[in-house]
């Protein structure tokens, strides 16, 4: 019983849903501030992401006539719950909290894909043709980045001679012994490939193809409003707090002891988020076929090179 | 318990099926329904028992064959699964053919006999008996496809040819396996006690022959092409019953028996089996992506899923074998559900062209929800059953250190999801074409099997540890307690499906609660927004057939898929052409000129004489 309560606390409060939501909103403030700096603007105050969400939660919900209303309305909450569970598993590994988290790297990968599935289901279920176009693009984007993303992550899993493990805490322990994956060529290549994939996973420019405001009006999210839209925004925040942490924990080792360890980890995360933001602000949106070509071409080649080098022990 | 009980699941459908052959239509349907129900009950009675029926039967010189059937912890469950498939198919077929003059021909009789054959394969304790029952199932597939659809004859012939090839290979492999000079050479006990080493040519050849037999039945690349071909003419109940579920169960069951206990695989052979699995996964799902006919699309997924089972078993690890076999069970469940759903939509909407369907979620809510669950399950979305078994296969790839195959399996799963997003969108979401305005929900007899299977998808996922321990653990003859999977599935990584499910539910509820606390309860229903224009349902559609045009336009990939669609990689077509060439060559010899024939005779005589003098 105590274990169950502990697990629920991990999931709902720390380091799961509540913590990652707040952290993600703070990171999205950093995103907006840095973007503003790049564009020579002042940018919003630190409270703005919170105000946005609070405002959405108070608005009325508009449900399209043609839609599968239940699925349409449930999608954002399922996305939020799944992203939060992935966040919990990743952050438990980051914080080296023992016990037994209910999943490993594969489970995290699948849980992280549920928000994308929810967006697709929501967009398609809305009955809006533009939503369907957005859903189709989102699905193609998932197909595009999932291949190199998986290969890049496996470059770390198969790095060790014996005892390849998919358990996140196992990967952390291995890196404690043998040094972080970033110390090897394969790790660096894999990290770069995974970073590019995360840009697309977060739906950031140049891979915001599925939302493309000025073409298809937010695409899959076009019919969403009020709390449902708010929870999709919260899901994005949770993902923004999870994906950089996942990259760090897989490629760059877990959190070190004491305040210094926390600071180092925070710096690593900030660096990754800053890269996301800079790429986002200096590139135009790609077309979906360009994105497919990009991910199945150079990025996949990079990821497979990393995997091959890892198996060879470089 | 009486040992004779083991025979019941075979005898009940077998005898009733033979009786049904000679009954009038209405009675045949009743007998089909009751017979399959009784089969299910007899199968369930065998669950978690260990019993064997033995009867000395035939002594042919050194070869003594025994009429032996047996049930161990695993095959009892399989027997129940076969019964379940038969029962649901009979139930579904009764409603499917209602208003069309009942089931065509002797469908129910053939169905029962096929079920008897499948039960025989599962319960046989002797390889020769297994092969015998195996042939019954092959024959029944042929008969079932041509029953009621004369246009199905070419597809049935193709299936019979490819399966016939596989069966010949299996028989040859059986003969080789049994020719090693043991007493009772065909008994499972003998085979398991003396596993065949595959270090030499004899071992490799024997295994490859057995593997070809299992792969053709299950539909692994390159012996898979009969499944998509028969998807068009075969009726949905037949597709759901044999190619989608039972043929997989039989093929993979045999493969598991062969590669786990009868043959010791060398690493090279293991690699070959895994490669077949990985290629099957990707080839099947890529071909499915470009299909516009929902039944044909599903049949390519039926191929693709076999890849996971073959891959898992090929790793040779405990976790892989468990995963592969569990996936076989799961596949039977969700694939039958998908075929049932597609059949229901085809029956009610009058088309199975994805470009012409759409927006049916309101007209057919139950069919939609069941197909939705099954689609998520086949795509391996946690916490459904497809995820649990795929997860085991992934772990096995890690244990066996096969990163490439792992990438193939994971990527195949994403493509499967993509394919089913297209299916769901183009059948149930989006705008409903005006032509489909009068469509109604399928009848209760069609809905019940779908609902039952969808519920099983959820249960086997959420409580994924239990079936592994109870039912599938014994396949490797490991005592359930020592399977390190109890509840935790902690073989190589960690996954606790029950915990994940409970947490997900809590998280979703917490989100909904938070939204309610936000104070927003107002809800409005409005027409969709497409830039201020009114929605024209006939015009403003985004049919699923357009979903993956971009993928199809990728260089190389699109052209390869088009070539696949034209049958360039179809062994049946390739060998058909080769055979045609040989026949043409032989035919050109028949000139009708007597001097030509005399010349050939002399040439032959010369050859015979030459052989005589040389030797």
| Interatomic CA distance for residues B31 and B86, integer angstroms | 12
Is the Cβ of A222 closer than 8 Å to some Cβ of chain B? yes
| Interatomic CA distance for residues B242 and B249, integer angstroms | 9
Which residues 6+ apart lie within 8 Å of A234 measured at CB? A21, A24, A53, A80, B511
- Given this model, what pLDDT does residue B309 score? 93
Judge: A227–B540 Cβ closer than 8 Å, yes or no.
Answer: no
Residue A26, classified by CB atoms within 10 Å of its CB into exposed (0-12), middle (13-18) or buried (19+), is middle
Residues of B (518-577) whose Cβ lies below 8 Å from A: 518-520, 522-531, 535, 540-542, 546-548, 550-551, 553-554
Closest by alpha carbon to B528, among A124, A303, A247, A112?
A124
Judge: A132–B425 Cβ closer than 8 Å, yes or no.
Answer: yes
Is the Cβ of A14 closer than 8 Å to some Cβ of chain B? no
Give the tokens for residue B173.
């492999």
The answer to whether B187 and B125 are in contact (CB under 8 A) is yes
- Given this model, what pLDDT does residue B475 score? 54
Residue A143: list chain B partners with CB under 8 A: 414-415, 418, 551
Mean pLDDT of chain B: 84
Which residues 6+ apart lie within 8 Å of B281 measured at CB? B304, B307, B308, B311, B408, B409, B412
Residue A115: list chain B partners with CB under 8 A: none
Residues of B (349-378) whose Cβ lies below 8 Å from A: 359, 361-362, 368, 372
Residue A121: list chain B partners with CB under 8 A: 421, 424
The residues facing B55 across adjacent strands are: B67
Is the Cβ of B440 closer than 8 Å to some Cβ of chain A? no
Residue A136: list chain B partners with CB under 8 A: 425, 542, 546-548
* For testing contact with chain B, the best of A139, A142, A290 (most B CBs within 10 A): A139
* Strand, coil or helix: B509: helix
The residues facing B304 across adjacent strands are: none
Residue A222: list chain B partners with CB under 8 A: 529
Judge: A165–B418 Cβ closer than 8 Å, yes or no.
Answer: no
Residue tagged 């490799």 (tokens) = B204
Residue B401: list chain A partners with CB under 8 A: 158, 164
Judge: A129–B382 Cβ closer than 8 Å, yes or no.
Answer: no
Judge: A11–B507 Cβ closer than 8 Å, yes or no.
Answer: yes
Closest by alpha carbon to B331, among B226, B234, B232, B253?
B253
- What is the interface size between A and B, counted as CB pairs within 8 Å? 252
For residue B522, the 8-state DSSP code is -
* For testing contact with chain B, the best of A107, A137, A197, A238 (most B CBs within 10 A): A107
Neighbours of A34 (CB within 10 A): 18
The domain segmentation of chain B, as residue ranges, is: 1-137, 203-209+264-512+538-569, 571-614
Is the Cβ of A126 closer than 8 Å to some Cβ of chain B? yes
Helix (H) or strand (E) holding A73: helix A69-94
Residues A160-169 pLDDT 10s: 666 567 788 8
In three-state form (DSSP H/G/I as H, E/B as E, the rest C), the secondary structure along A241-300 is HHHHHHHHHHHCCCCCCHHHHHHHHHHHHHHHHHHHHHHHHCCCCCCHHHHHHHHHHHHH
Is the Cβ of A305 closer than 8 Å to some Cβ of chain B? no
Judge: B414–A113 Cβ closer than 8 Å, yes or no.
Answer: yes
Judge: A142–B414 Cβ closer than 8 Å, yes or no.
Answer: yes
Residues of A (29-48) whose Cβ lies below 8 Å from B: none
| Interatomic CA distance for residues B606 and B615, integer angstroms | 14
| Interatomic CA distance for residues A62 and A52, integer angstroms | 18
The answer to whether B531 and B525 are in contact (CB under 8 A) is no
Closest by alpha carbon to B392, among B303, B333, B325?
B325
Phi first, then psi, for residue B409 (nearest 5°) are: -65, -45
Closest by alpha carbon to B18, among B9, B26, B8, B28?
B28
Q: For the residues A285-310, what does the mean pLDDT come to?
A: 90
Give the tokens for residue A99.
């016990």
* Strand, coil or helix: B445: helix
Residue B581, classified by CB atoms within 10 Å of its CB into exposed (0-12), middle (13-18) or buried (19+), is exposed
Q: Which of A63-72, A278-287, B66-75 has the highest mean pLDDT?
A: A278-287
DSSP A190-253: HHHHHHHHHHHHTT-TTS-TTT-HHHHTTGGGTT--HHHHHHHHHHHHHHHHHHHHHHHHHHS-
- What's the CA dihedral at A103, A107, A108, A112 to 10 degrees? -140
| Interatomic CA distance for residues B170 and B255, integer angstroms | 11
The residues facing B263 across adjacent strands are: B196
Closest by alpha carbon to B317, among B396, B252, B411?
B396
Residues of B (11-40) whose Cβ lies below 8 Å from A: none
Please give the share of chain B, as a percent, with pLDDT higher than 70.
92
Phi first, then psi, for residue A102 (nearest 5°) are: -80, 20
* Strand, coil or helix: A88: helix
Q: Which residue has the higher pLDDT, B522 or A33?
A: A33
Phi first, then psi, for residue B353 (nearest 5°) are: -85, 120
Residue A228, pLDDT above cutoff 80: yes
Q: Under the phi-then-psi rule, with left for phi > 0, alpha for psi from -120 to 50, and beta for the rest, what region is A226? A: left
Question: Radius of gyration of chain A from Cα atoms?
Answer: 19
Residues of B (379-418) whose Cβ lies below 8 Å from A: 380-382, 387, 391, 394-395, 398-399, 401, 403-404, 406-407, 410-411, 414-415, 417-418
The answer to whether A32 and A49 are in contact (CB under 8 A) is yes
Judge: A63–B523 Cβ closer than 8 Å, yes or no.
Answer: yes
Is the Cβ of A97 closer than 8 Å to some Cβ of chain B? no
Residues A235-272 pLDDT 10s: 999 999 999 999 998 888 878 888 888 999 999 999 99
Residue A57, pLDDT above cutoff 70: yes
In three-state form (DSSP H/G/I as H, E/B as E, the rest C), the secondary structure along B249-279 is HHHHHHHHHHHHHHEECCHHHHHHHHHHHHH
Residues B476-534 pLDDT 10s: 554 333 343 333 344 445 677 777 888 888 888 888 887 777 666 667 777 777 777 77
Would you say the C-alpha torsion A286, A291, A294, A299 has a positive or negative sign? positive
* Strand, coil or helix: A77: helix
Length in residues, chain A: 314
Count the domains in chain A.
Answer: 1
Q: Residue A223 to residues B81, B423, B527: CA-CA distances in angstroms?
A: 44, 22, 10
Which of A76, A150, A223 lies nearest to residue B410, judging by beta carbons? Answer: A150
Residue A150: list chain B partners with CB under 8 A: 406-407, 410-411
* For testing contact with chain B, the best of A17, A68, A69, A291 (most B CBs within 10 A): A68
pLDDT tier for residue A226 given thresholds of 50, 70 and 90? confident
| Interatomic CA distance for residues B533 and B526, integer angstroms | 13
* For testing contact with chain B, the best of A124, A147, A162, A217 (most B CBs within 10 A): A124
The answer to whether A111 and B382 are in contact (CB under 8 A) is yes
Which of A102, A130, A310 lies nearest to residue B500, judging by beta carbons? Answer: A102
Taking the CA of residue A206 as centre, how many other CA atoms within 13 Å lie in the half-sphere pointing to its CB?
A: 15
Give the tokens for residue B281.
């996964």
- Given this model, what pLDDT does residue B487 score? 33
Residue A300: list chain B partners with CB under 8 A: none
The residues facing B353 across adjacent strands are: B293
Would you say the C-alpha torsion B550, B553, B557, B563 has a positive or negative sign? positive
Buried b (16+ CB within 10 A) or exposed e, A146-158: bbbbbbbbbbbbb
Judge: B417–A142 Cβ closer than 8 Å, yes or no.
Answer: yes
- Given this model, what pLDDT does residue B366 score? 92
Closest by alpha carbon to A171, among A184, A188, A189, A158?
A158
Report ipTM for this prediction.
0.92
Residues B369-427 pLDDT 10s: 999 999 999 998 888 889 888 988 888 888 888 889 999 999 999 999 989 988 988 88
Judge: B522–A117 Cβ closer than 8 Å, yes or no.
Answer: no
Is the Cβ of A166 closer than 8 Å to some Cβ of chain B? yes
Task: Collect the ranges in chain B with pLDDT lower than 70.
Answer: 1, 61-64, 102, 465-466, 469-494, 518-522, 537-540
Closest by alpha carbon to B221, among B269, B286, B156?
B286
Structural domain harbouring A64: 2-312
Chain B nearest-CA distance from A38, in A, is 32
Judge: A7–B499 Cβ closer than 8 Å, yes or no.
Answer: yes
| Interatomic CA distance for residues A202 and A225, integer angstroms | 20
Closest by alpha carbon to A30, among A266, A256, A213, A293?
A266
Judge: B495–A103 Cβ closer than 8 Å, yes or no.
Answer: yes
| Interatomic CA distance for residues B431 and B358, integer angstroms | 6
Judge: B381–A102 Cβ closer than 8 Å, yes or no.
Answer: no
| Interatomic CA distance for residues A173 and B65, integer angstroms | 57
Residue B510: list chain A partners with CB under 8 A: 12, 17, 81
Is the Cβ of A50 closer than 8 Å to some Cβ of chain B? no
Mutual orientation of helices A258-281 and A17-38 as an angle, nearest 10°? 50
The answer to whether B323 and B260 are in contact (CB under 8 A) is no
Phi first, then psi, for residue A178 (nearest 5°) are: -100, 10
Please give the share of chain A, as a percent, with pLDDT higher than 90.
35
The answer to whether A113 and A261 are in contact (CB under 8 A) is no
Helix (H) or strand (E) holding A63: strand A61-64
Judge: B494–A57 Cβ closer than 8 Å, yes or no.
Answer: no
Per DSSP bridges, beta strands B263-264 and B196-197 are: parallel
């Amino acid at each position: 019983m105590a274990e169950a309560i502990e697990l629920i606390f991990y999931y709902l409060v720390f380091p799961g849903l509540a913590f990652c939501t707040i952290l993600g909103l703070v990171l999205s403030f950093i995103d907006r501030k840095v973007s503003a700096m790049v564009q020579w603007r002042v940018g919003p105050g630190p409270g703005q992401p919170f105000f946005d969400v609070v405002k959405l939660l108070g608005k009325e919900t508009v449900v399209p006539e043609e839609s599968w209303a239940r699925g349409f309305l449930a999608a954002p909450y399922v996305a939020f719950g799944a992203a939060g569970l992935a966040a919990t598993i990743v952050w438990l590994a980051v914080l080296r909290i023992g016990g037994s988290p209910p999943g490993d790297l594969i489970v995290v990968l699948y849980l992280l894909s549920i928000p994308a599935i929810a967006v697709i289901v929501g967009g398609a279920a809305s009955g809006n043709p533009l939503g369907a176009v957005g859903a189709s693009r989102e699905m193609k984007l998932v197909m595009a980045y999932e291949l190199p993303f998986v290969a890049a992550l496996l470059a770390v899993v198969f790095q060790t001679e014996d005892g390849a493990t998919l358990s996140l805490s196992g990967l952390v322990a291995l890196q404690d012994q043998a040094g972080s994956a970033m110390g090897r060529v394969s790790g660096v290549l894999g990290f770069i490939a995974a970073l590019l994939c995360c840009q697309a996973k977060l739906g950031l420019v140049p891979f915001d193809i599925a939302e493309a405001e000025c073409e298809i009006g937010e695409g899959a999210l076009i019919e969403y409003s009020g709390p449902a839209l708010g929870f999709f925004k919260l899901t994005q925040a949770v993902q923004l707090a999870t994906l950089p942490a996942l990259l760090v924990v897989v490629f760059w080792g877990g959190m070190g002891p004491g305040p210094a360890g926390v600071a180092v980890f925070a710096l690593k995360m900030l660096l990754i988020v800053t890269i996301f933001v800079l790429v986002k602000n200096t590139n135009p949106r790609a077309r979906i076929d360009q994105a497919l070509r990009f991910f199945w071409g150079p990025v996949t080649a990079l990821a497979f090179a990393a995997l091959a080098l890892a198996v060879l022990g470089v | 318990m009486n040992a004779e009980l083991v025979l019941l699941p075979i005898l009940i459908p077998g005898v009733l099926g033979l009786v049904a052959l000679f009954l009038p239509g209405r009675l045949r349907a009743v007998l089909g329904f009751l017979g399959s129900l009784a089969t299910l009950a007899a199968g369930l009675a065998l669950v978690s028992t260990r019993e064997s029926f033995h009867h000395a039967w035939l002594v042919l010189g050194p070869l003594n064959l025994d009429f032996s059937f047996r049930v161990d912890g695993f095959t009892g469950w399989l027997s129940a699964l076969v019964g379940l498939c038969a029962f649901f198919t009979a139930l579904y077929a009764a409603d499917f053919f209602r208003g069309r003059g009942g089931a065509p021909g002797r469908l129910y009789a053939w169905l029962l006999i096929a079920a008897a054959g499948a039960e025989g394969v599962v319960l046989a304790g002797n390889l020769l008996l297994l092969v015998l029952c195996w042939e019954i199932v092959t024959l029944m597939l042929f008969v079932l496809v041509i029953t009621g659809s004369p246009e199905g004859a070419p597809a049935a012939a193709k299936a019979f040819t490819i399966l016939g090839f596989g069966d010949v290979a299996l028989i040859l492999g059986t003969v080789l396996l049994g020719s090693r000079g043991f007493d009772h050479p065909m008994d499972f006990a003998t085979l398991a006690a003396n596993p065949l080493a595959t270090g030499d040519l004899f071992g490799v050849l024997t295994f490859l022959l057995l593997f070809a037999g299992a792969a053709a039945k299950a539909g692994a690349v390159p012996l898979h092409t009969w499944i998509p071909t028969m998807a068009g003419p075969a009726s949905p109940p037949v597709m759901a019953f044999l190619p989608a579920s039972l043929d997989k169960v039989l093929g993979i069951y045999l493969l598991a028996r062969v590669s786990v206990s009868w043959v010791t695989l060398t690493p090279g052979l293991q690699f070959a089996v895994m490669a077949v699995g990985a290629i099957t996964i990707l080839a099947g799902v890529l071909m499915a992506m470009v299909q516009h006919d929902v039944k044909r699309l599903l049949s390519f997924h039926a191929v693709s899923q076999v890849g996971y089972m073959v891959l898992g078993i090929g790793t040779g690890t405990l976790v892989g074998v468990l995963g592969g076999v569990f996936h076989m069970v799961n596949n039977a469940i969700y694939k039958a559900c998908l075929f049932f759903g597609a059949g229901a939509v085809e029956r009610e909407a009058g088309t199975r062209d994805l470009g012409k369907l759409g927006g049916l979620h309101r007209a057919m809510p139950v069919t939609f929800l069941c197909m939705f669950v099954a689609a998520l399950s086949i795509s391996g979305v946690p916490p459904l059953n497809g995820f649990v078994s795929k997860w085991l296969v992934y772990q096995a790839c890690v244990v066996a250190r096969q990163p490439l195959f792992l990438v193939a399996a994971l990527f195949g799963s994403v493509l499967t999801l993509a394919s089913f997003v297209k299916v769901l969108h183009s059948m149930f979401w989006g705008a409903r074409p005006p032509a489909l305005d009068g469509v109604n929900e399928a009848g209760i007899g069609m809905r019940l099997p779908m609902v039952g299977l969808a519920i099983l998808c959820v249960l086997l996922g959420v409580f994924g540890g239990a079936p592994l321990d109870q039912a599938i653990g014994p396949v490797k003859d490991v005592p359930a307690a020592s399977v390190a999977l109890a509840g935790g599935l902690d073989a190589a990584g960690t996954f606790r499906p029950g915990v994940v499910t409970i947490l997900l539910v809590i998280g979703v509820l917490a989100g909904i609660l938070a939204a309610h606390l936000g104070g927003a309860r107002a809800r409005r229903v409005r027409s969709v927004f497409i830039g201020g224009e009114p929605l024209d349902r006939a015009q403003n559609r985004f049919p699923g057939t357009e979903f993956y045009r971009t993928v199809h336009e990728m260089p190389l990939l699109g052209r390869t898929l088009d070539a696949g669609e034209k049958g360039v990689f179809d062994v049946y077509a390739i060998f058909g052409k080769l055979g045609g060439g040989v026949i043409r060559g032989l035919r050109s010899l028949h000139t009708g000129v007597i001097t030509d024939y005399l010349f050939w005779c002399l040439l032959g005589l010369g050859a015979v004489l030459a052989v005589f003098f040389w030797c």
